[in-house]
Amino acid sequence: MAHGHVAYGMRASYGLAYVTADTIAAWERGLSSPTSAELTALAATLWCSPGELMGAARTLREHRIARGLAPEDVARGAGVEIQAYLRMEETDTWRGNERQSAALAEVLTLSVPDFVTVTGRADALAELLRSAVSTRWQGYVRPVSKLLPLEKRHVEGVLRQMHEDYQSRMARTLSWSGGAGSDASGEAGRDFLERILEHFWSLVRGGRG
């Protein structure tokens, strides 16, 4: 479909009289972005879902739009006031309590990694994981569990495995003489810590980090 055909479809079927071929071209080139209503109309005109046009959703707003939900639907499902929800979406900062967070994950069918990202917990989780693998992991089961909609038993198993993996990498190339092997060991440890969330999600999904 040409830009003009898409624009005509949005005008005729959804009353968006201001949408022109230039509007569609600007969206396509990334020069501007459609609103939630415009994206929904665009997807319907192209016979696809909003999520197919967006690619990988990252923010609270993007996850909502990708699922074709109105703000009121998400707010009601998560148990928060609509105005409070809209503020959280505008600032991209989720402030719900644990019960509301769990409800949000269910309404938006969020994977655990997406849930952590959307609720702004990724940095806090990464910091806890770095401490867990480099010290005594047992002391971090509870704080990590509070950030995630995962069973405590599962968190325990993942943290134990991550601790073993990290300590193994540190010891594997450790040189008794403190030479080049020691530098390699330090590099391996730094790489593991920098990619700590990748290792964590791999194990959460049942793979190996």
Domains of the chain: 1-55 (1.10.260), 56-109 (1.10.260), 122-204 (no CATH)
Model pTM score = 0.65
Contact between residue 93 and residue 61 where contact means Cβ atoms under 8 Å apart: no
Cβ-based neighbours of 205, under 8 Å, separated by 6 or more: none
Q: Locate tokens 């997406």: which residue?
A: 114
Per-residue model confidence (pLDDT) at position 162: 95
Per-residue model confidence (pLDDT) at position 186: 67
Conformational region of residue 58, where left means phi above 0, alpha means psi within -120 to 50, and beta covers everything else: alpha
Per-residue model confidence (pLDDT) at position 173: 58
> pLDDT tens for residues 147-200?
888 889 999 999 999 999 998 888 765 544 455 455 555 677 888 999 999 999
Per-residue model confidence (pLDDT) at position 209: 41
Q: Provide the angle, in degrees to the nearest 10, between the axes of the packed helices 36-45 and 3-14.
A: 110
- Identify the segments of the chain with pLDDT beneath 50: 175-177, 180, 208-209
